[in-house]
C-alpha cells in the first residue's frame, strides 16, 4: 500500500470531501424519489408483470441493457450499496444466460474504472468512501505473500465485501489483469444464484426460484462465517510474523 500517498491529504480534507459526496448523493436520491413518487404504484404493478418487463426490453433492446449495466456500475462505484438487487434485475429482465453475461461485463468495466482510478489517485479516491480504520481492516491482506490466491478465495466466498476489496486492491501490488479477472469471475457464484432465481420468477417457475433463493441465503450465511474466521486467522498470522 502506498503509505506515503495516505499522508499527502489530511483527514479533515477527506472528511470534507466525503460529506460533499454523501450530501450530493442524498440530494439526488431525494429528488429522484420525489419525482418518481406518483409513479410508484404503476411501477410496482409493471415490475410484477414479467411479460411487460420483457416486452419493454424487446422494444428497447440496446437502451434497456445499457441502462441496467449503468446501474450495476454505479452500485460498484458506491460500494456501500448491495449488489444483489441489481443481479436479480438482470435475471428478471434478460433471463439467466444473458443476464449473467451482461452483469459480468458491467462488473468488469466498473471494477476496471475503480481499480485504475485508485492506482492513479490512491488514497484521495479511497478516502472519499472509507475511513483509515476501515482500510486497516484489510492490512493483513496487503502484507500477505500470497495476495492473488487470498483475493481469489475471498471473492469466491459469498457474502464477502467484494466491492470494498476492489477499492482496496488498487492500493496493493496486484496487477490489473489479475485483479479484473478475480473481480469478475470471483463474483460468478453470487451472480448466478441471483440470476437463476430472478429468471425462474420471470418464467413462472416458483419452485426453482425458491430453491435458488434458499441456496443463495445459505451460501451467504456460511460464506460470512467462513470469511470472518479466514480474516481473523490471517490477521493473527501476520501479526505473529511482525512480532
> What pLDDT shows up at residue 142?
65
> What pLDDT shows up at residue 139?
67
> What pLDDT shows up at residue 100?
94
* Residues 6+ positions from 204 with CB-CB distance below 8 Å: 50
Confidence grade of residue 144 (pLDDT, cut at 50, 70, 90)? low
Give the residue with greater pLDDT, 43 vs 110: 110
Per-domain boundaries in the chain: 3-242
User: In the predicted model, what is the mean pLDDT of residues 190-194?
Assistant: 89
Per-residue buried b or exposed e for 2-34, using 16+ beta carbons within 10 Å of the residue's own CB: eeebbeeeeeeebeeeeeeeeeeeeeeeeeeee
SS3 content of the chain, % helix, strand, coil (to 5): 80, 0, 20
Q: What percent of the chain has pLDDT over 70?
A: 81
Q: What is the pLDDT of residues 45-56, one digit of tens each?
A: 667 788 888 888
E-strand stretches of the chain: none
* Residues 6+ positions from 212 with CB-CB distance below 8 Å: 193, 196, 197, 200
Least confident of 15-24, 62-71, 195-204: 15-24
Confidence grade of residue 107 (pLDDT, cut at 50, 70, 90)? very high
Q: What is the pLDDT of residues 118-136, one digit of tens each?
A: 998 888 888 777 777 766 7
User: In the predicted model, what is the mean pLDDT of residues 172-190?
Assistant: 88
Amino acid at each position: 500500500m502506498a503509505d506515503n500517498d495516505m499522508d499527502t491529504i489530511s483527514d479533515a480534507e477527506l472528511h470534507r470531501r466525503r460529506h460533499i459526496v454523501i450530501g450530493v448523493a442524498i440530494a439526488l436520491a431525494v429528488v429522484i424519489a420525489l419525482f418518481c413518487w406518483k409513479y410508484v404504484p404503476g411501477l410496482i404493478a409493471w415490475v410484477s408483470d414479467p411479460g411487460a418487463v420483457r416486452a419493454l426490453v424487446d422494444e428497447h433492446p440496446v437502451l434497456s441493457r445499457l441502462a441496467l449495466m449503468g446501474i450495476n456500475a454505479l452500485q460498484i462505484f458506491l460500494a456501500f450499496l448491495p449488489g444483489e438487487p441489481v443481479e436479480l434485475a438482470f435475471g428478471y429482465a434478460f433471463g439467466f444466460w444473458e443476464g449473467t453475461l451482461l452483469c459480468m461485463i458491467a462488473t468488469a468495466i466498473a471494477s476496471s474504472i475503480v481499480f485504475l482510478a485508485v492506482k492513479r489517485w490512491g488514497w484521495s479516491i479511497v478516502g472519499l468512501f472509507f475511513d483509515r480504520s476501515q482500510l486497516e481492516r484489510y492490512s493483513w491482506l496487503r502484507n500477505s505473500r500470497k495476495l492473488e490466491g487470498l483475493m481469489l478465495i475471498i471473492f469466491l466466498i459469498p457474502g464477502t465485501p467484494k466491492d470494498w476489496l476492489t477499492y482496496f486492491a488498487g492500493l496493493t501490488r496486484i496487477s490489473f489483469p489479475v485483479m479484473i479477472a478475480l473481480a469478475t469471475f470471483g463474483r460468478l457464484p453470487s451472480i448466478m444464484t441471483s440470476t437463476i432465481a430472478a429468471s425462474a420468477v420471470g418464467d413462472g417457475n416458483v419452485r426453482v426460484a425458491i430453491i435458488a433463493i434458499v441456496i443463495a441465503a445459505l451460501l451467504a450465511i456460511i460464506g460470512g462465517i467462513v470469511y470472518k474466521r479466514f480474516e481473523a486467522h490471517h490477521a493473527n498470522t501476520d501479526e505473529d510474523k511482525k512480532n
